[in-house]
Amino acid sequence: MSGGGGGKGKKGRGGLGGKSRGHAPVASARLEGLPVEERGVYEAEIIGLSHDGEGVGRANGFTLFIRGAVPGDRVRVRVTKLKKSFGYAELVDLLEPSPDRVAPPCPIYDACGGCQLQHLSYDAQLRWKRQTVVDSLTRIGKFAVRDDGNGEGIVVHPTWGMDEPWRYRNKVQVPIGERDGGLVGGFYAQNSHDIIDMEACLIQHEQGDAVVNAVKAIGRRLGIEAYNEATHRGLLRHVVVKVGFSTGDIMVVLITNGDVIPHRESWIRGIRETVPGVRSICQNVNTEQTNVIFGDVTRVLWGEAYIYDYIGDIRFAISARSFFQVNPVQTEKLYRQALDYAALGGSETVIDAYCGIGTISLFLAQRARRVYGVEIVGEAIADARRNAALNGAGNVDFAVGRAEEIIPAWREQGIVPDVIVVDPPRKGCEPSLLDTMLAMRPERIVYVSCNPATLARDLRQLADGGYTVREVQPVDMFPWTVHVECCSLLVRK
């Protein structure tokens, strides 16, 4: 199964009866004085979850991280690896299940490395994700945190979940391998590059499953070889499928280790006949020895170069390499919250740093006088300009470059923002951008984050620089995984 974060690194987990974290017993110097031993079997009470979804247990007062355990479980575990102050263990027996434990519906959950929390009830996931945000704000940011009631500190709201938290991903991105002389496709097993072949993924759109299964079947019939990482031989590396939830448009991208696709017309005919709704079939060429999925060359094999989808009432053109949020239902909630926090009345100037293909910018443009978006990826800015034209948004300007360089240049041109919106990658904002934002002194800053730890770090710098962090709204963009998105409001003191 594919986890969240839009292509960001994922870790798996061993469910009950599944694989352990991968910390196999190793020959090491014995750690004296610890209340547990490597390979020893102990009972443990699970008192929490780690940031990557492992159960946090206490055995003889010693902290152990245990894949597949959830808070409230009483378990028997075998210690696999020890450090001075904590260790890792594998789940041997479930002695008393937590009331929050559920049976994972996915048949390959224990093997697949995409989801981490299918054995935890959805309500419990939402509570844990809020607590993850609270813990980061208090421990890393040194903030006081409160609920919606009275008191001092940042208000951290309950996590917004989904009414239907399945089949939410609009993008499928799977590696292809070979087994028994035929193609297999699925996600990597935890802590490895072993492909777990799958027929269906419960967090992805059904049409994505249909396309992947069709590609595997066609490839087997035509004798296509999968790419081999070790030998750098073979043709088919990945299959990427993008689905327009609102439009029904489907794009298929075959990522190949070479320019020539044997039996090209058979591929095209087979995909079109098997999966109605396909509007675009593309090839991306990646001949590099790398884990990066896409190469630099993309060509259309059949149909159009773009498919289309909506977030709210804004239409977006999506190309093979466009970044587009993978959960359109929750994305609309997240962006509307960002728009509410911006509190625009129609006369404001807004800067959208890390603007990508213009998704947030176009939401802001509905209520702002002028929006300026900046993004370091030139291809994304080309998409952003195309999307602005597609929606008739004449009050948006986009620039390619580093935000910490472009924004001061705008200031020299007399562009002074009332609001700055940032939506950085997992590593957070560059320190120089935070300094630039503080120098620009907007009335409000809206910080959208996919990583509570770097969010807390950056909010501390902004708070020390003269801003009050009012509130944070967690949003569950990736149910059944450990990831959580946040939208935060800062107001100038």
Whether residue 246 is contained in a domain is answered as yes
Residue 6 has a pLDDT of: 39
Whether residue 136 is contained in a domain is answered as no
Taking only the tens place, the pLDDT of each residue in 116-137 is: 999 999 999 999 999 999 999 9
Taking only the tens place, the pLDDT of each residue in 216-267 is: 999 999 999 999 999 999 999 999 999 999 999 999 999 999 999 999 999 9
Neighbour count for residue 431 (Cβ, 10 Å): 12
Taking only the tens place, the pLDDT of each residue in 56-71 is: 999 999 999 999 999 9
- In terms of domains, do 331 and 435 share one? yes
- In terms of domains, do 280 and 389 share one? no
Q: Mean pLDDT, to the nearest integer, of 135-146?
A: 96
- In terms of domains, do 363 and 463 share one? yes
Whether residue 391 is contained in a domain is answered as yes
Report residue 30's pLDDT band, with 50, 70 and 90 as the boundaries: low
Q: pLDDT at residue 28 above 80?
A: no
CB of 261 within 8 A of CB of 275? no
Q: Catalytic one among 201, 429, 450, 486? A: 450
Listed residues 50, 66, 101: the one ending a domain: 101
Q: pLDDT at residue 31 above 80?
A: no
- In terms of domains, do 178 and 41 share one? no
Q: Mean pLDDT, to the nearest integer, of 19-39?
A: 61
Taking only the tens place, the pLDDT of each residue in 191-212 is: 778 899 999 999 999 999 999 9
Whether residue 350 is contained in a domain is answered as yes
Active site residue 450: yes
- In terms of domains, do 289 and 348 share one? no
Residue 151 has a pLDDT of: 77
CA atoms within 13 A on the CB side of 43: 3
Q: Which tokens hold the place of 340?
A: 């509410």
Residue % of the chain over a pLDDT of 90: 86
Whether residue 317 is contained in a domain is answered as no
- In terms of domains, do 246 and 352 share one? no
Whether residue 475 is contained in a domain is answered as yes
CA distance 423 to 434: 13
Whether residue 383 is contained in a domain is answered as yes
One-letter amino acid identity for 242?
Answer: K
For residue 428, give the CATH number of its domain: 3.40.50.150
- In terms of domains, do 383 and 417 share one? yes
- In terms of domains, do 349 and 465 share one? yes
Burial of residue 170 (CB within 10 Å: 0-12, 13-18, 19+) is buried
Q: Mean pLDDT, to the nearest integer, of 343-371?
A: 97
CB of 397 within 8 A of CB of 373? yes
What's the whole-number average pLDDT of the chain?
91
CA 446, 379, 458: angle at the middle one, nearest 5?
A: 25
Taking only the tens place, the pLDDT of each residue in 306-325 is: 999 999 999 999 999 988 99
Residue 55 has a pLDDT of: 97
Using only the alpha carbons of the chain, give its radius of gyration: 24
13 vs 138 pLDDT, higher one: 138
For residue 187, give the CATH number of its domain: 2.40.50.1070
Listed residues 101, 134, 153: the one ending a domain: 101
Residue 3 has a pLDDT of: 38
CB of 259 within 8 A of CB of 281? no
Listed residues 282, 311, 340: the one ending a domain: 311
Report residue 114's pLDDT band, with 50, 70 and 90 as the boundaries: confident
CB of 251 within 8 A of CB of 279? yes
- In terms of domains, do 361 and 272 share one? no
Whether residue 144 is contained in a domain is answered as no
For residue 14, give the CATH number of its domain: 2.40.50.140
- In terms of domains, do 292 and 377 share one? no
Structural domains in the chain (count): 3
Range of the domain at 378: 326-492
339 vs 114 pLDDT, higher one: 339
- In terms of domains, do 423 and 276 share one? no
- In terms of domains, do 295 and 177 share one? yes
